[in-house]
Amino acid sequence: MTDAPRLDRGPRDPAAPLAGSHVLVGVGGGIAAYKAAELVRLLIKAGATVDVAMTARAQQFVGPMTFQALTRRPVFTDLFSLTDEATIGHIQLADRADLVVIAPATANLIARLAAGMADDAVTSTVLATRAPVLLAPAMNVNMWGHPLTAANVQRLVDVAKYNVVGPGDGFLACNWTGPGRLADPKDIVEAAAHVLSAQDLAGTRVLVTAGPTQEALDPARYLGNRSSGKMGVALAAAAQRRGATVTLILGPSAVEPPLGVRVVPVETAAQLGAALDAEVGGADVVIMAAAVADYRPMTVSPTKLKRGALGPEVQLELVANPDLLARLGARRTGGTPLLVGFAAETTDVIANARTKLAAKKCDLIVANDVGEPGAGFGVDTNHVTLVDAAGAHDVPAGPKAQVAHRILDRVVAVLAGKRTPAGSQRGKRVLR
C-alpha cells in the first residue's frame, strides 16, 4: 500500500461525488454481510477506490477473498496480525478515507463503536478516522427496537455525528418481519453520495413537478403525452442529495421516486394545480418539469365509449387547462418562490423559451429541443439551454441526473444572490 493520505478533500461535484474518492467499507458480522459485496461493486462503479475492513465475525459469513477480488486491494482483517498492520495499517486506511461506510452495522458493532472501542480491524480504523461515517444497520427487528441499540445509534449520531441509512422494513433472515433489513445497496450508495456532496441546498424547500398528466375521455381512455417523469425525478433526487427538503408532485410515471422525497401523486392537470396550490406556500424554489396537458376533453363519459355507437369519424371537444406556471408567476410576491419553468420546443427553441420566461414571469427557463435525438421525452439523457434575463447558457448533453445538477447549480447561484446560503459541506444526518 503506497497511497499517501489524501489532502484534496474539497467539496465534490454533486453530480458525481464518489468519483475519485476513497471509501472504506467496514463489514460487520451479520447475514447481510454478503450484500456488502454488491455495495462495494456499486461504489467502485460510481468511481470510488474502495478498501475493505472486516470484523472476525464478518469473515464467518463471507470470505475476504470476495472483497479482494472486487477491489483488487488487500482486505484488512486482523488488527493484531503483523502482516496486515505492516502492509495495510489501520491509521493509513483511516487517513486515506474520504468516507467510511459500515455495512452491515450489526447491533454488536454499533454497541462497540458507541463505546469508543478499538479492538479489531473495523472499530480501530473507524475510531482513528476523521472522515464522515455512514452506518447501514442490519439486525433482528427486536435488536433494532431495543432501547439500548436505539441509544447507541443516537449516541453515534449526536456525539460522533455519524450518518445513518436504513434499516429497511421487510422479511428478515431470522423469520421476523419489520425494520432490520440492510438498506438496498443502491440506497446506501446514494446516502454515501449525499454525505460527500456539498449541502448547498440545505435549509431550502424545493417543490418539483414531474411526469405527464392524463386527461380522461372515459373510464378506459385518456389524453396524455410522452413524459416519463425521468427529468423531474432526477431534479428531485439531485436537490435531495444537495440537502434540500423536497416535495415531488408526480404524474403517472413508472420511474421510482427517490427515497426520502415526499411524493404527491396526481393524474390530471387540475389535480396538479390543486397540489401546487397546497404545497407552494412552503416552497423556496418551484421547478416545473411536468408536461402539463394544455387541453382536456370537454366532457368525460362515465361509461366506456363504444366504437359502434361513435361511427367512423369522431370529433373531440377540448377545453383549455389553466397555465399553472403562469398562474404561479402572476401570484408570487417579492420574487418568492424562485420559479424555474421548462420549455419543450421543436422549433425556435431559445426564442420560444425567452417568450415563456417573460409570459410566465419565471426566473429561469430550461429549454429542451424535444425533437433532438437523446433529448426531451422518455430518454435517459437531455440537452438543455438555461435561459434567464442575463442570456442563454448551453448545458452539455448528458444523463438527466447530471443535467439536473447543472440546473441546480444555477438555482444555487440565484439563491446565493438573494440570501446567505445555509448549509454545511458535510456531516448531515441521513436518518430515514
Hey, which residues are catalytic here? 174
Cell of 9: 478533500
Cell of 160: 460522533
The distance of closest approach from Cβ of residue 215 to ligand PMT in the complex, given in angstroms and rounded to an integer, is 11
Q: Which is nearer to ligand PMT, 62 or 343 (CB)?
A: 343
Question: Three-state DSSP class for 401?
Answer: helix
| By CB under 6 A, residue 388 contacts ligand PMT | no
The distance of closest approach from Cβ of residue 352 to ligand PMT in the complex, given in angstroms and rounded to an integer, is 8
Q: Which is nearer to ligand PMT, 248 or 288 (CB)?
A: 288
d(CA 404, CA 415): 16
| By CB under 6 A, residue 386 contacts ligand PMT | no
| By CB under 6 A, residue 324 contacts ligand PMT | yes
Total residues interacting with ligand PMT, rule: CB under 6 A? 27
Helices and strands (DSSP H and E) totals, the chain: 16, 19
d(CA 290, CA 213): 8
d(CA 227, CA 214): 11
The distance of closest approach from Cβ of residue 167 to ligand PMT in the complex, given in angstroms and rounded to an integer, is 32
HSE-CB for 361 with a 13 A CA cutoff: 15
Sheet holding 99-105, edge to edge: 49-54, 22-27, 99-105, 133-137, 163-164
Stretch that binds ligand PMT, among 68-76, 300-308, 319-327, 385-393 (CB under 6 A): 319-327
The distance of closest approach from Cβ of residue 26 to ligand PMT in the complex, given in angstroms and rounded to an integer, is 38
Binding flags for ligand PMT, 216-235, as an x/- string (CB under 6 A): -----------xxxxx----
Cell of 33: 454481510
- In the list 195, 325, 386, 395, the residue contacting ligand PMT (rule: CB under 6 A) is 325
- Whether 228 contacts 211, CB under 8 Å: yes
* Site residues (CB under 6 A) for ligand PMT, limited to 246-305: 269, 288-292, 294
Q: Which is nearer to ligand PMT, 85 or 294 (CB)?
A: 294
- Whether 291 contacts 232, CB under 8 Å: no
| By CB under 6 A, residue 357 contacts ligand PMT | no
The distance of closest approach from Cβ of residue 58 to ligand PMT in the complex, given in angstroms and rounded to an integer, is 41
d(CA 64, CA 54): 8
- Whether 14 contacts 241, CB under 8 Å: yes
| By CB under 6 A, residue 368 contacts ligand PMT | yes
What is the contact surface with ligand PMT in residues (CB under 6 A)? 211, 227-231, 269, 288-292, 294, 321, 323-325, 341-344, 356, 368, 370, 376-378
